[in-house]
Structure 1
Amino acid sequence: MTGARPALDRESAIAAYLKYADRMPQLADGDLPAQTQVVHNILEIADQFDVIIFDAFGVLNSGVHAIPGALSAVSALRKRGVDLAVVTNDASNTAEAIITRHRNRGFDFTVESLVSSAKYIVPMMDRHFDVTQWGIMAPQHWPIDGLPGQARFLADDPGIYDAAEGFVLIDSDEWHGARQQLLEASLAKKPRPILVGNPDICAPMGDFLSVESGYFAHLAADACGVMPQCVGKPYREVFDDILNRHPTVDRSRILMVGDTLHTDVLGGLAAGIKTLLVTRGGFLDGYEDLTGLYQRSGIHPHFIAPAIGHGLE
Structure 2
Amino acid sequence: MAKHFKDISSCYICLSYLEDPVSLKCGFLCCLKCVDSLPRGPGGHGIVCFTCPEVSQKSDIRPKYQLARLVSEVRALEPQLRAILRMNLRMHRFQVDVTLDVDTANNHLYISEDLQQVHCVYEEQKQRVCPERFSVSLCVLGSRRLMSGRHYWEVDLGTSTEWNLGVCKESVPRKEKVVLSSERGFWIVSCREKDTFRASTRPVTELMVISSLHHIGIFLDFEMGTISFYDVSDGSHSFTFPLISVAEPLRPFFSPGIPAKDDGSFMTLCPGFSPSVASAAGQGHGTLSTAGTDAPWVCTAMDTSPCAGDPAP
Give the alignment's TM-score, normalised by structure 2: 0.23
Greater helix percent: which structure? Answer: 1
Give the alignment's TM-score, normalised by structure 1: 0.23
Larger radius of gyration: 2
Greater strand percent: which structure? Answer: 2
